[in-house]
Each structure stands twice: as structure tokens, then as C-alpha cells.
Structure 1
């Protein structure tokens, strides 16, 4: 984990773009960390990222228990806003990939030349683009794509998605199709877009589009955003949060405390 605040991440990206350098931001939470800890291949892939910041309060707690300096939680759902604000100030272009298709299927997309007011059926990526463009004047929408679920298992459709993103030549790509699919797609795109930054942001595109409501700030600050999402989607998230992530988080905190107690620095004589 990189010990950075949200503002420091934004500053890092902005400086890199000014030099014509791209990169990749990974924001692991407890669920991602649990899955990565059990998959050496996936762990090796994520080590290719340029910035790794903690999208999960338990990770911050665990780091502090272990005696490591991890200043704050930095979420993809927050970065999509703060990065867009910085990109707008520099008149950079963003590509939004993900969200909910307008009809649940098909291949929907827009480009920088699309007149948003003339588009009848707005998918999630498109609506998120409208919100960001309206919130941050100066932000250039290089394009949007809202491919159907499972598109990345279809070689032709996957190639079409990649071609569309590459043709747009954006400075930033927000990929919100879920872990680890979004990370696999980012790794594929990076070679063709070395001057572009990528953020795998999961549900953030849906949050911006208004399809999913985020927990109130008090729950976020208390590290209980997962509880709000569980209440909204119990059937989909109960097993993951309660049977898999909660025990892993408890064990992580216990190991961190044990590390702190057994690795105290020696006192000087």
C-alpha cells in the first residue's frame, strides 16, 4: 500500500500527466485483499500497478495496528470525483467504461463527438459522463462504453471495446466492471496507451450515474459503508461480506496486532 492521501494521489497523477506519463491506480478493499492473498498470480498482476491505496477502513486500521503509516482511506468512489476535478482544470479527456446498459444487453457507447442531448437511451456510463461534465466544466468526455456483462469472454466484443478506448486516446480511463475483470482489461489496454492513467473503480460509475446510492458520510467515516450496501443488496452480498470478508478482516486485524507486539524496535542502551 502506498501511504498517500486522496489529495496526494490526485497531485501525483496530475504531475505525471503533465510529463506525458501514464499509470494505473488500484484501490483494494477487504474483499479484494482476501482474494489476492489466495491467488499468487493475481497478486503478481496487481503489483504492476503504479499506485496502490487502501479502499477500506479495516485496511487502514490493520496498518496502524501493525505500526505502519497509512494516513487515510482512499476510495475509487471518491477518486472518480477528485480526479475529474483536476482533469477538468487541465482540460484533459476521460473515458468511462462500465455502468448499467440501458436495456440490459447490447453494446452502447459514445465518443467525444457525440451530442449528448440527442441520445435517447442513456446507459450508466453515459449518464455518469453527463454528471461529471456538468459538475466539472472543462472536463472533456473522450468517450463512454457500457458493454454487456460477460463481454470480456467474447474475443470479438473484447477487441471492439479495447479498440474504442484506444481510438479515443483519453488521458484517464475509469473502468467500473468489477474486480478482477476490470484489472485484466486495464492490463490489456496499458500497452497501447502508455500515456494514459487507469482507475479500476468498481461500482463508482453506478454511484455517479445515480443507479446506486452511496452510504451517508457518517457510515463511510465509521468504516460501515459495507453495512449499508449489505442492507440494500442482501442476497448478492451476504455471503461475501458475512461469511468471507468479515472473518478475513478479523484475522487481518489480529495478525496486525500480533506483528506490532512481536516486532517492537529494540531500545538503545
Structure 2
């Protein structure tokens, strides 16, 4: 498998790659008799990594981690890394290209995400683009342990997907992957949060000129202020404060 340069922020690493690199990697990994974890980072993920050691370990031990946040891209640039906008990607923009690549390479896809009905809508849209794609799915609103969880795993294992897309939101999706990895017969584990909600139009992302400039979070904040204010109003400044504090601490140690 192709390797990529690493970027390390706040002791958490991700890789410098483009969306084409990501899709090629996922499809190729799905052909190998091995379980592969592909993670992603945004500001929220970086904050979780600072607070939860297991979450930082998840990202640092994943086979590949891509950047899905403009704030992380900006933070990396401020730390001296050479990154461009092409090194940041968000799932709704490339999920159809991923489906087409899976169809072409005969890689199956299982969607495990969203409220009841969202996966069904996504499957209809993806089959319109890739009619021969082998695809199944189930909503993400189920008990993540016990009999209901066992039933979902049985459904996944009966399908044996090349790619398992898990979208419960951070950090629940990553915790579920870790807790069930040994039991699931899938090759690539791909946690992608609310991608299907955006892709199906159940959650508004904002106009394209905003999403292309990393301002999607503003739309989300205005549409769901009570639920998301802490994530963005507190979380974004906290991330940059942590970067600034790390830089100050390093400078102090250098002078000693």
C-alpha cells in the first residue's frame, strides 16, 4: 500500500493526501485479507484526542488518517507544514466517487449510520450513480451492546463488506469500532460521522461557496445553535489555544 507523509499536531497524527489518494487507498485495502482502519481528523477530533488517551491511540494506530477539517488544515500550516486545500476532504463531496470506484473494482459497501430512513435514501442515490454497486445498510440508532448490537453485526457479517462505513458521530463511532473490530467481517472500517445526513439533504451544509472555504461550521452553528454551540464556540478557540500553548512550552524548553 502507498504511504503518505505524516502531520503531527498536539501529539496526534494524520496524513498528507488528496481525495483521489484516499479513494484509491480504501478500494485497494478492501481487496486485501486484512482489517484496515481509516480515521479522520477535524478540530473536534483533535480536542477529543487531547482529552481521551484511547481516542488519540485510535488515530495514531489507524492505518490511514485524513484531514476533514479546515481548522486542522490551518493549524498545521501555522505549525509550518506545507498543506493546501486539496489535502482536506469531506465525505459528502466524494462519496459518489468512492461508490463508483467500489463498483468498478467490485468492492462491496455497507452503510451503518443515521436515523431510520437516511441509509435507504443514500442507497437510492448511490445506486443511481453506480447501479452495479454491491451495497447494503442499516440505520445507526440501535443499542451499541447486547442482542441488538449482535444482530447488526450478524447482518454485516452475512454481507461481508469490503468497506464498512460507520457514522455515529465522534467519539462513539470510533469506540464502537474498537469494541467490535474482532467480531466484524469487514476489511476497511471507515468512520465518517454525519456524511449521509448531508449527502441526502437531511442536514443542510450551507452554500457551496461556504463549504469550499471551510465555513460549513457557521451554517451548522446557526441551524443547530443549542446542540453545537459548545463544539464550535468553545471547541475551535480551545484547539488553537492548545496549539499556541504547545508552541510557547516548546520555546521555553528550547531556551533552558
Q: Indicate the TM-score class for this superposition, using the shorter chain for normalisation.
A: 0.7 to 0.9
Alpha-carbon distance between aligned partners in 1 of 2:158 and 2:82, rounded to the nearest angstrom: 40
Q: Which residue of 1 aligns with 2:188?
A: 197
Deviation for aligned residue 1:193: 4.5
Unaligned runs of 5+ in 2: 1-13
Unaligned runs of 5+ in 1: 102-122, 264-269
| Pair 1:8 & 2:2 matched | no
Asked if 2 retains the 8 angstrom alpha-carbon contact of 1:98 and 1:175, the reply is: yes
What is the alpha-carbon root mean square deviation over aligned residues?
2.5
From 121, 138, 154, give the equivalent of 1:145.
138
Asked if 2 retains the 8 angstrom alpha-carbon contact of 1:30 and 1:58, the reply is: yes
Distance 1:194 1:50, change over 3 A: farther
Deviation for aligned residue 1:241: 1.2
Q: How does 1:6-85 map to 2 (within 5 A)?
A: 6-71=19-84, 72-85=87-100
Alpha-carbon distance between aligned partners in 1 of 2:149 and 2:206, rounded to the nearest angstrom: 33
Q: Which residue of 2 aligns with 1:216?
A: 207
Q: State the number of aligned residues.
A: 239
Bigger relative contact order, structure 1 or 2 (CA pairs below 8 A, ≥6 apart): 1
| Pair 1:136 & 2:130 matched | yes
Asked if 1 retains the 8 angstrom alpha-carbon contact of 2:161 and 2:185, the reply is: no
Q: How does 1:169-188 map to 2 (within 5 A)?
A: 169-188=160-179
Q: Which residue of 1 aligns with 2:101?
A: 86
Q: Which residue of 1 aligns with 2:114?
A: 99
Asked if 2 retains the 8 angstrom alpha-carbon contact of 1:80 and 1:174, the reply is: no
Please state whether the residue corresponding to 1:191 is helix, strand or coil: helix
Normalised by the size of structure 1, how large is the TM-score?
A: 0.79
Superimposed CA distance per residue, residues 234-266 of structure 1 (whole angstroms, 9 cap, x where no aligned partner)? 111112211x21221331553587699999xxx
Asked if 1 retains the 8 angstrom alpha-carbon contact of 2:31 and 2:162, the reply is: no
| Pair 1:155 & 2:168 matched | no
Normalised by the size of structure 2, how large is the TM-score?
A: 0.83
**Which protein shows a greater Rg?**
1
* 4+ aligned runs moved over 3 Å, structure 1: 18-22, 76-79, 192-195, 252-263
Deviation for aligned residue 1:187: 2.3
